[in-house]
């Protein structure tokens, strides 16, 4: 344990690893199969996803939230059982609009408004993990259901908050109160050297259910990370209460600590639940309308799509009303599914980006 009394670096961009791509609720297995699944949903409100990764360089938009959820699985099924190796990366962040203006101005060299007090507060939760997943599919009174249990071995963590109030003077300099309490694998605020990257062991329980009510109506609901957490062993932690100052044009903060502690602690990181619900209605033979609701801890999304089936081929177009993103998709029988969505065809300007890829071979 040591006193945190060295220079405070201006906040860098939070790292995230956007992997594109995944899968719909599985149907009951009636044979053996091998499968590869990818899933990606990436949404940033204040800046584009590309800018978020690249230090917030570029235009600033209204908004105060970001969520990035990406998964990859490779495995096999045997009758009603499934087993897979997995990789996943989860990140969410929320901050008041004042904070986005303050941070964006600093990163882009934009003068701060003189004589203004900025409300600066950032709360975030991030991890990456590899692991193993086992699942079982069943049918109860016409309801198809699936229960999955994942073991997670995690290597990266950001969990906590930092914030305060920044008051600018008429020279463009500022003084801010600062309150920090977070765990990390890389210190993005202070110049602390992390000798040993932390690791953690965790679990995640998913449950999904669907039902075909009649020839026209079907409903699905997935509870991802219904119960989920990571237990970190001696994760680096910084706790700080004090003040920070920076003169205009300087890259670094200088600060005086009232209370400052750097230490390693055993820490339990909660993984927030996600809910993905959808209803499907057959307008006519080979024509289907889908309506979906996706719940994440920082934001909810409403989307709709139309699907046309031709023999064993299915073509789909959709729109996410909340994110303003369009989607296109294709599915062949039950062994191939592809979907891509974005809110703009210009990748560097996209604030919503992701997709689905699922390949399955039955034998």
Task: Give CA–CA dist 278/291, Å, rounded.
Answer: 6
Domain covering 2-362 in this structure, CATH number: 2.40.160
Task: Give CA–CA dist 132/202, Å, rounded.
Answer: 11
Q: Which DSSP symbol is given to 79?
A: T
What is the pLDDT averaged over residues 182-200?
88
- Residue 47: φ, ψ to 5°: -140, 170
pLDDT score of 3 more than 70: no
Domain residue spans of the chain? 2-362
Task: Give CA–CA dist 68/43, Å, rounded.
Answer: 6
pLDDT score of 71 more than 90: yes
User: What pTM, to 2 d.p., does this model score?
Assistant: 0.87
CA 139 to chain centre: 31
Choose the weakest-confidence range: 36-40, 116-120, 297-301.
Answer: 116-120
pLDDT score of 317 more than 50: yes
CA 62 to chain centre: 19
Contact 51, 104 (CB under 8 A): no
What is the pLDDT averaged over residues 237-244?
86
């Amino acid at each position: 344990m040591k006193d945190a009394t060295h220079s405070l670096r201006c906040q860098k961009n939070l790292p995230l690893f956007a992997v594109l791509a995944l899968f719909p609720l599985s149907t009951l297995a009636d044979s053996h199969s091998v499968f590869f699944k990818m899933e990606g949903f990436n949404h940033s409100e204040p800046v584009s996803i590309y800018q978020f990764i690249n230090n917030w360089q570029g235009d600033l938009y209204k908004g105060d939230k970001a969520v990035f959820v990406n998964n990859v699985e490779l495995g096999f099924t045997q009758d009603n059982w499934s087993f897979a190796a997995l990789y996943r990366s989860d990140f969410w962040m929320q901050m008041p609009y004042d904070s986005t203006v303050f941070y964006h101005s600093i990163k882009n060299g934009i003068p701060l408004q003189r004589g203004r007090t900025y409300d600066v507060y950032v709360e975030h939760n991030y991890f990456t993990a590899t692991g193993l997943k086992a699942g079982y599919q069943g049918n109860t009174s016409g309801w198809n259901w699936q229960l999955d249990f994942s073991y997670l071995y995690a290597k990266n963590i950001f969990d906590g908050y930092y914030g305060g109030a920044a008051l600018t003077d008429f020279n463009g300099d500022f003084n801010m109160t600062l309150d920090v309490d977070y765990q990390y694998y890389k210190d993005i605020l202070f110049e602390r050297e992390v000798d040993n990257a932390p690791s953690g062991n965790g679990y995640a329980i998913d449950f999904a259910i669907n039902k075909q009510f009649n020839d026209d109506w079907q409903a699905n609901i997935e509870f991802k990370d219904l119960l989920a957490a990571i237990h970190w062993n001696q994760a680096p932690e910084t706790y700080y209460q004090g003040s920070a100052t920076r003169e205009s044009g300087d890259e670094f903060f200088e600060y005086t600590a009232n209370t400052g502690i750097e230490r390693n602690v055993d820490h339990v990181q909660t993984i927030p639940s996600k809910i993905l619900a959808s209803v499907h209605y057959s307008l006519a033979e080979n024509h289907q309308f889908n309506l979906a609701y996706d719940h994440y801890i920082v934001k909810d999304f409403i989307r709709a799509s139309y699907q046309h089936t031709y023999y064993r081929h299915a073509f789909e177009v959709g729109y996410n009303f909340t994110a303003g993103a369009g989607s296109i998709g294709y599915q062949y029988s039950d062994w191939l599914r592809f979907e891509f969505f974005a809110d703009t065809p210009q990748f560097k300007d996209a604030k919503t980006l992701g997709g689905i890829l699922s390949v399955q071979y039955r034998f």
